[in-house]
Chains A and B, each alone.
Chain A
Amino acid sequence: MLTNQRFARSTALFISLITLSFLLMTFDVRTEGGGVTGTLRDGVRTLFDPVQSAVSAVIRPVANAADALVNLAGLRAENDRLREELQDANRVLQETEGIRSENEVLRELLQLDLPGELLTQSVVARVQAGGSSNFDFSVVLNKGADDGIGIGQPVVNLQGLVGHIDAVTSNSATVKLLTDPDHAVAVRLVTTQFVGTAEGRGSGDLKFLSSRADGPVEEGEVAVTFPNRYPAGLVVGTVARSAEPAVGVGIQTTIDPAVDFERLDFVRVIFSSPGSEEAPADEVPAGEGSP
Chain B
Amino acid sequence: MKFRHLNIGLALGIGAVILQTTLFDRFLDPFGVAPDFVLLIVVATAYQLSEEAAMLLGFSAGLLTDLLGNTLLGVWALVLTVIGYVTVRVRPRVEGNPVLTLASVFVLTVAGELLYAVLGTLFGQQVFSDVNAFKKVLLAAVYNLLLAVIVLPVTARLMRRDPAAGVWA
Given A41-B67, A132-B68, do A23 and B136 touch, yes or no (CB 8 Å)? no
B81–A129 CB distance below 8 A: no
Q: Binary interface profile of B, 16-48, with partner A (CB < 8 Å = 1, else 0)?
A: 011111110111110011101010000000000
A132–B65 CB distance below 8 A: yes
Chain A residues with CB below 8 A from B117, complex form: 135
Please, how many residues of chain B have a CB less than 8 angstroms from a CB on the other chain?
59
CA distance A28 to B66 in the complex (A): 11
User: At the interface with chain A, which of B4-12, B119-127, B149-157, B160-168?
Assistant: B119-127
Please, how many residues of chain A have a CB less than 8 angstroms from a CB on the other chain?
55
B125–A13 CB distance below 8 A: no
Of B19, B33, B131, the most chain A CB neighbours within 10 A belong to B131
Chain A residues with CB below 8 A from B81, complex form: 14, 17-18, 21
Checking A21, A262, A291 against B29 with a beta-carbon cut-off of 8 angstroms, the contacting residue is: A262
Min distance, Cβ A179 to any Cβ of chain B, angstroms: 9
Chain A residues with CB below 8 A from B23, complex form: 55, 59, 63
B22–A22 CB distance below 8 A: no
Min distance, Cβ A21 to any Cβ of chain B, angstroms: 3
**For the complex, is B55 an interface residue (Cβ under 8 Å from A)?**
yes
Q: Binary interface profile of A, 105-149, with partner B (CB < 8 Å = 1, else 0)?
A: 000000000000000000000011111111111101000000000
Min distance, Cβ A253 to any Cβ of chain B, angstroms: 14
B19–A132 CB distance below 8 A: no
CA distance A40 to B67 in the complex (A): 8
A52–B21 CB distance below 8 A: yes
**For the complex, is B73 an interface residue (Cβ under 8 Å from A)?**
yes
**For the complex, is A44 an interface residue (Cβ under 8 Å from B)?**
yes
A134–B34 CB distance below 8 A: yes
**For the complex, is A272 an interface residue (Cβ under 8 Å from B)?**
no
A55–B66 CB distance below 8 A: no
**For the complex, is A51 an interface residue (Cβ under 8 Å from B)?**
yes
**For the complex, is A159 an interface residue (Cβ under 8 Å from B)?**
no
CA distance A130 to B21 in the complex (A): 5
Of B19, B27, B124, B132, the most chain A CB neighbours within 10 A belong to B27
Which residues in B have some Cβ–Cβ distance to A below 8 Å?
17-23, 25-29, 32-34, 36, 38, 51-52, 55-56, 59, 62-78, 81-82, 85, 113, 116-117, 119-120, 123-127, 129-133, 136, 140
